[in-house]
Amino acid sequence: MKSRFAPSPTGYLHIGGARTALFAWLWAKKEQGQFILRIEDTDRERSTQASVDAILDGMKWLGLDHDEGPYYQTDRFDRYKTVVQQLLEEDKAYYCECSQERLQVLRDELMEKGEKAKYDGHCQHKNLTAGVVRFRNPSEGNVIFSDLVKGEISVHNKELDDLIIARSDGTPTYNLTVVVDDHDMDVNCVIRGDDHINNTPRQINLYEALGWGLPDFAHLPMILGGDGARLSKRHGAVSVMAYRDAGFLPEALLNYLVRLGWSHGDQEVFSIDEMIDLFDLKDVNKAPGSFNQDKLIWLNQEYIKSADIDHLVDQLDWHLNDQSIDISNGPDITNVIDALRERSKTLVEMAQSMKMFYQDFDQFDEKSAKKQFKPAAEPIIKALIDHYSKLEDWSSAAIHDVVKTVCDEQSVGFGKVGQPFRLALSGTGNAGSIDIVAELVGKDRTLARLQMALDYIAQIDN
Ligand code: GLU
């Protein structure tokens, strides 16, 4: 069993491509087969090295490793030429020199008559020796195949053009290269987006003309944006790496992608092993899936809560760099992650919240400060400073006891102490359990920040 992912490097790896790659990868894993990565870069004008890199980066980040490749079609031009030559020699293909103008006139005429725009076979019997090469498509009968997702599909050969398989400069076209590659690379299950389903009958005719056995085909339904239109840039970040940048974990994105067009009962959370175990092309939906950002965020949160700590440390690395957070001077990052993981929707948020543990700030969030640092808070903060400067055992339990003592001494409820304390510690008011945060922030920094809160109050007093 061999499947493949065959992207054209004309842009980054987008969500639709990643979903196709995931399904092909899962199928190979499930069948204990091989997964090939093939870069379809024959369109030299639109293919770029930057896109190749973006695809490789995206696949790597998602952990969709390949057993073979990456193969590059531009390395295989000689092979394609040989196949085109063979088809010409066997009269299964012919040269055509129809001009663009002639083809345009033909198209317009057919369209006007309400017919399908299709090549009329003008050069079929001219025995030309130059021009584009067209495949002699059978004119009778149907092409019938059983798609593993869509079921039986039948197309009459009358519907199919004499397809161009090589341009006049000799370079091969997609439908030829894909057939040659899938055959040569022993791919026996072609899994791809259903935007290619119209190509499949043409490709089947090519396989047959070449006397090659057919692979299975599975065409995946497209992905729609929330508004029902095909998912595109308009719907926000669609590049896989943009999700990394926005703070998603790769396994959360994979889990999200696997549910776009596939389901197993009403289960929502799947580990990679479970996906491999349960995935079946038979269960892929025929109807398009709709992208739902809220669900992705929910999954991400679930994964952040339960992920292995070392994995989170690895995944956070990029974000710490991105937000210029140096963790060498401060608490152990694993303790900080544990303090924050219950309340972080994304790694971007988590990294933002990490700043309070590693960076001092010189300003409080203005709106929160106006609310929390009123003159009434002054004796409370003074009392906290007083107790904490004497506290030897800088543990969350002892820190918590002090908060309780101050509540009693000042005859106020917990909120009156906790809220200004939280703002003093975090600068933003956004922090989890204050005793744990204070323990991790450390005694000196805690005292300095409480003093800064006092200074703030003194300055509004005047
Ligand atoms: N290179 C094609 C694309 O990016 C995919 C070809 C295929 O999967 O057959 O759309």
Residues touching ligand 1 (Cβ under 6 Å) are: 6-8, 40, 178, 192, 196
Q: Same domain for 44 and 25?
A: yes
- Give domain status of residue 115, yes or no: yes
Give pLDDT, residue 435. Answer: 95
Binned at pLDDT 50, 70 and 90, residue 225 comes out as confident
For residue 462, is pLDDT > 60? no
Average pLDDT over residues 5-26: 95
- Give domain status of residue 364, yes or no: yes
- What is the domain count for the chain? 5
Q: Same domain for 154 and 86?
A: yes
Give pLDDT, residue 456. Answer: 97
Give pLDDT, residue 431. Answer: 84
Q: Same domain for 158 and 208?
A: no
- Give domain status of residue 227, yes or no: no
CATH assignment of the domain containing 33? 3.40.50.620
Q: Which domain range does residue 387 map to? A: 360-462
- Give domain status of residue 327, yes or no: yes
CATH assignment of the domain containing 110? 3.90.800.10
For residue 110, is pLDDT > 80? yes
Choose the residue to mutate in 40, 47, 59 for probing ligand 1, maximizing ligand atoms within 8 Å of C-beta: 40
Choose the residue to mutate in 174, 183, 185, 197 for probing ligand 1, maximizing ligand atoms within 8 Å of C-beta: 174
Binned at pLDDT 50, 70 and 90, residue 171 comes out as very high
Q: Same domain for 137 and 85?
A: yes
pLDDT tens per residue across span 400-449:
999 999 999 999 999 999 999 999 999 998 888 999 999 999 999 999 99
pTM of the model: 0.91
Average pLDDT over residues 341-346: 95
For residue 100, is pLDDT > 60? yes
Give pLDDT, residue 347. Answer: 98
- Residue 17 CA: nearest ligand 1 atom is 4
Q: Same domain for 366 and 426?
A: yes
Average pLDDT over residues 136-148: 97
Q: Same domain for 104 and 63?
A: no
For residue 215, is pLDDT > 70? yes
Binned at pLDDT 50, 70 and 90, residue 237 comes out as low
Give pLDDT, residue 445. Answer: 96
For residue 461, is pLDDT > 70? no
Give pLDDT, residue 141. Answer: 97
Q: Same domain for 348 and 440?
A: no
Binned at pLDDT 50, 70 and 90, residue 105 comes out as very high
- Residue 195 CA: nearest ligand 1 atom is 10
pLDDT tens per residue across span 288-306:
888 888 999 999 999 999 9
- Give domain status of residue 228, yes or no: no
Higher pLDDT, 461 or 113: 113
Give pLDDT, residue 44. Answer: 87
Q: Same domain for 317 and 301?
A: no
Q: Same domain for 186 and 52?
A: yes
CATH assignment of the domain containing 414? 1.10.10.350
Average pLDDT of the chain?
A: 95
Q: Same domain for 247 and 325?
A: no
- Give domain status of residue 378, yes or no: yes
- Give domain status of residue 25, yes or no: yes
Distances (CA, A) of 22 to 46, 88, 256, 275, 356: 25, 38, 11, 10, 38
Query: Which residue is closest in CA terms to ligand 1's atom 6?
Result: 6
pLDDT tens per residue across span 269-282:
999 999 999 999 99
CATH assignment of the domain containing 270? 1.10.1160.10
How far apart CA 98 and CA 160 sit, in angstroms, is 18
Q: Same domain for 452 and 380?
A: yes
Average pLDDT over residues 127-151: 97
- Give domain status of residue 386, yes or no: yes
